[in-house]
Structure 1
């Protein structure tokens, strides 16, 4: 695992907060495991300069802050990084990341989370994950579908369309192959807590490190989904203890246990510890 990836242990619930709403900064960070201060989509073009000013004046714990900056191809991106150079915030989320060359050229002071939310970005996720300055990858559904000319990432029943599911899996695999963290996309329907529970539980079981959210009410649901229950934790401890007395493959509670199963158990205890 690379040093940048090793630093990305913020917790499972990452809460977006508009950069032009400084009165919400502290509340968002207090309610979630980390706050994503958004200088991109959440802020109108005419308000971006004001939002940057608020960012300079803020006094949050930089270890629990991610700043979403504008796409690298824009003048706003240059202004965003100039602003961040006047703060202690050094972890950025690059919106609509597509070009590995552009991401690689970002000032080495910054730890980068790439947001793969366009067709090109998802297609380049393997190369983006390989960059030394990248610690995590996130994917986004709505911008992805829009980049393809589509109109919705979800079916009428609320489930993701196949293209969104493919992008989600591809970004997760790209991150995992390079030892980087993967962040699951936001759930836009705040009232649909059932679907959020299902998707956050699936994210945790699949290997995502965190899920981003847009409302404080989603934090508790995400945390609960990522937290292993006591039965699972007890199983993990017991099977790892049994492995200390065995050599190679062995049977435990009627199930064959080999190294992949033991890695699952270690992962459960690591999630419980966090």
Structure 2
């Protein structure tokens, strides 16, 4: 499943669904949670259920439900009964135990869908990140959030004045990245809130791709193109990766080789192979 860009859309704004689907996002996250006021949640459930019952296009349709320990989730899941969202986004997830509980609830309403946990929104969640690798529930990926956690512990912000994360939240981001790769699933970075700052977004997304994230969430259709570009290997990168793999194929007993004027060894070969595989998956999805 290619997941470079995942665009949030409030579930109670069905007039935005078509524009969001035309944005180029790989997936929409139709939201029942933070983007929808309590009084509007019934309307959101009805609109999302109606959309899931219609013919699908190429864009995957995820649904973010409300947290498992709140008063809204039962109605969320009842509204999705028998429908087929491409994934369920679980806020305030606290490791594999949360997934097991959700799986039981999904089975009760006839939903078979992978789960995308938002895995850092409570203090306890940080200590459960390693458990996703042992989870028996199918995962669509793993992502994190930078807003709920500081609110949960009384911090004033998760960011420095220049927009960088403060050390606790940089740690949460890094742990999510490693937890996703340990579980063998997509590592999805959180949103870039300044949706009019497309240059800042492009720089942020490029750093995320550099660090090992495979995709990113978005809050506005205008952000999608920059995110897709950041997480799509360029022809230059693909060509360089192919030169590395070709060099090792020609010298299978070599531990290290010189390619393009630098020494490369087994980790570089693995990186090259992964990039080529990702490029192939992107091409197949287009």
Name the TM-score, length of structure 2 as normaliser: 0.87
Change in Cα spacing, 1:51 to 1:30, as seen in structure 2 (3 Å) is same
| 1:41 positional shift | 0.3
| 1:60 positional shift | 5.4
Query: Unaligned stretches of 5+ in structure 2?
Result: none
Q: 1:21: which partner in 2? A: 13
Contact 1:10 1:64 (C-alpha < 8 Å) held by counterparts:
no
Change in Cα spacing, 1:261 to 1:34, as seen in structure 2 (3 Å) is same
| 1:69 positional shift | 0.6
Contact 1:70 1:95 (C-alpha < 8 Å) held by counterparts:
yes
Contact 2:118 2:142 (C-alpha < 8 Å) held by counterparts:
yes
Q: Give secondary structure in 2 for the equivalent of 1:17.
A: strand
| 1:154 positional shift | 1.1
| 1:211 positional shift | 0.1
Distance 1:13 1:242 in 2: 33
Of the three residues 230, 236, 240, the one matched with 1:235 is 240
Q: Give secondary structure in 2 for the equivalent of 1:37.
A: strand
| 1:138 positional shift | 0.7
CA offsets 1:197-240 (integer angstroms, 9 cap, x no match):
22211211222121000011111111111122322211111111
Distance 1:154 1:91 in 2: 30
Q: 1:207: which partner in 2? A: 212
Q: 1:5: which partner in 2? A: none
Contact 1:37 1:68 (C-alpha < 8 Å) held by counterparts:
yes
Deviates further, 64-73 or 254-263: 254-263
Q: Is 1:79 aligned with 2:79?
A: no
Deviates further, 125-134 or 220-229: 125-134
Of the three residues 244, 253, 257, the one matched with 2:264 is 257
Q: Is 1:128 aligned with 2:132?
A: yes
Distance 1:145 1:262 in 2: 39
Q: Give secondary structure in 1 for the equivalent of 2:258.
A: strand
Q: Is 1:248 aligned with 2:254?
A: yes
Of the three residues 81, 94, 109, the one matched with 2:90 is 94
Distance 1:270 1:203 in 2: 19
Q: Give secondary structure in 2 for the equivalent of 1:75.
A: coil
Q: 2:115: which partner in 1? A: 112
Contact 2:126 2:172 (C-alpha < 8 Å) held by counterparts:
yes
CA offsets 1:156-177 (integer angstroms, 9 cap, x no match):
1111111111000001111111
Distance 2:48 2:38 in 1: 16
Q: Give secondary structure in 1 for the equivalent of 2:118.
A: strand
Distance 1:101 1:29 in 2: 33
Query: Unaligned stretches of 5+ in structure 1?
Result: 1-8
| 1:90 positional shift | 4.5
Q: 2:48: which partner in 1? A: 55
Contact 2:243 2:259 (C-alpha < 8 Å) held by counterparts:
no
Q: 1:177: which partner in 2? A: 182
Distance 1:84 1:94 in 2: 14
Q: Is 1:270 aligned with 2:277?
A: yes
**How many residues of Structure 1 are paired with residues of Structure 2 in the alignment?**
266
Distance 1:102 1:140 in 2: 17
